[in-house]
Amino acid sequence: MGDILKDKNGRRIGEIKDQGNNWQVAVNANGNKLGEYNRRTNETRDKNGRRLGTGSMLAGLIYNER
């Protein structure tokens, strides 16, 4: 279990799961993968592997998906 993100009404909109080995994955409320963050390279990539930027941007992927 990872960090669960909720909207202002308390509904679950997604989760950031720790995958170990320096990886975190963002999933929406339905469990669909939105992107991943590599702590070693400090890069966030979307679900298609495109580099989005440096640092973890996973929460933004979840909130923008709504």
31 touches 16 (CB < 8 A): no
Residue 1's pLDDT is 66
**2 or 54, higher pLDDT:** 54
Model confidence, pTM: 0.90
- The whole-number average pLDDT for the span 34-44 is 98
What is the strand order of the sheet 23-28 is part of? 3-6, 12-20, 23-28, 33-38, 43-46, 51-54
Indicate if the pLDDT at residue 28 is higher than 90.
Answer: yes
Q: How far apart are CA 15 and CA 30, in angstroms?
A: 10
Indicate if the pLDDT at residue 66 is higher than 90.
Answer: no
Indicate if the pLDDT at residue 46 is higher than 70.
Answer: yes
Residue 65's pLDDT is 79
Q: How far apart are CA 45 and CA 9, in angstroms?
A: 29
